[in-house]
Amino acid sequence: MDKQSKHFPADKRRALTVESVIQLAGSQNPSDITTAAIAKHMHVTQGALFRHFPSKEAIWQAVMEWVADRLLARLDRAAQGIESPLEAMEAMFMSHVEFVVEHPGVPRMMFGELQRAEPSPAKRMVQVLIQRYGDRLHRLIDKGKANGELPASLDTNSAATLFIGTIQGLVMQSLLAGDVERMRRDAPMVFAIYRRGIRSAS
C-alpha cells in the first residue's frame, strides 16, 4: 500500500485491510499475524487500523465475510446457465480450485478458525459459508437425481460432504507439497474420480 492509501475513505481502508491479511496469510501462519504486522504491511499505524476495526477479532470476521461473499459469488457465476447438474458441479469445483490458487492464504485461515475450540464471529462465518455451500450442492445433486443424471439411491448429504472434502484434500496436498499450482494440475483427474463415484453409487 502506498502513502496515498492513508487518505482512502473508511470503506476502502477496511477493504485494503482485509486484502492485506489475506496476502499475509499466503506466506505465513495466520495465527502469527498480529495487528502490528498488518499495520506494517499497510504502511499505517496500529492506531489508524483500530479506527476502522475495534479489535483483531473484528478484522478476522471481516476477512471471513469477504471470503464467503467472494467464493459463493464465484461458484454461482461458474454454475450459471449450465443445465447439467454434474457439469455445473464440475464448474464449481474448478472455480473453487482457482479461487484457492489465487488466494492461498484463505484455506489456512479457514482451517485455523475451525480448529479453534472457542466460538468466535469468524468461526461462525466459516460455518455459515460451509452451510451455504452445502445448500448449493444439495440442490444440484437432488436435481441430478430427479433428471436421472445421478442414481436415485445416491445419498445427497454424503455426496455434498465428499465434494467439499475432496477440495479440502487437494488443498492439504498442495500445502504439504508447498506447491499451490498442484491443485490446478490435479483437479480435473480428481473430479473425474468423484464423478464416477457418485454416478455409480447404489
All CATH 1.10.357.10 domain ranges in the chain, comma separated: 56-199
pTM for this entry: 0.87
63 within 8 A of 21, measured Cβ to Cβ: yes
Does pLDDT of 147 surpass 80?
Answer: yes
Query: 58 exposed, middle or buried (CB, 10 Å; 0-12, 13-18, 19+)?
Result: middle
All CATH 1.10.10 domain ranges in the chain, comma separated: 1-53
Q: Which CATH number fits domain 1-53: 1.10.10, 3.30.70, 2.50.20, 1.20.1250?
A: 1.10.10
User: Measured between alpha carbons, how far is 90 from 187 in angstroms, rounded to an integer?
Assistant: 10
DSSP string, 19-65: HHHHHHHTTS-GGG--HHHHHHHHTS-HHHHHTT-SSHHHHHHHHHH
| pLDDT for the residue numbered 201 | 66
Does pLDDT of 150 surpass 60?
Answer: yes
User: Measured between alpha carbons, how far is 57 from 54 in angstroms, rounded to an integer?
Assistant: 8
pLDDT digits (tens, 9 = 90+) for 38-74: 999 988 888 888 888 888 899 999 999 999 999 999 9
Residues in the chain: 202
φ/ψ region of 121 (left if φ > 0, alpha if ψ in -120 to 50, else beta) reads alpha
Q: Which residues contact 190 (CB under 8 A, 6 or more apart)?
A: 166, 169, 170
| pLDDT for the residue numbered 2 | 45
Query: 125 exposed, middle or buried (CB, 10 Å; 0-12, 13-18, 19+)?
Result: buried
| pLDDT for the residue numbered 9 | 66
User: Measured between alpha carbons, how far is 82 from 69 in angstroms, rounded to an integer?
Assistant: 21
Does pLDDT of 145 surpass 50?
Answer: yes
Taking domain 56-199, whether its CATH number is 1.10.357.10 is answered by yes
Higher pLDDT, 40 or 201: 40
| pLDDT for the residue numbered 176 | 85
Mean pLDDT to the nearest integer, 91-114: 91
DSSP string, 53-111: -SSHHHHHHHHHHHHHHHHHHHHHHHHTT---HHHHHHHHHHHHHHHHHH-THHHHHHH
**Residue 193: strand, helix, or coil:** helix
Phi–psi pair at 155, nearest 5 degrees: -80, 115
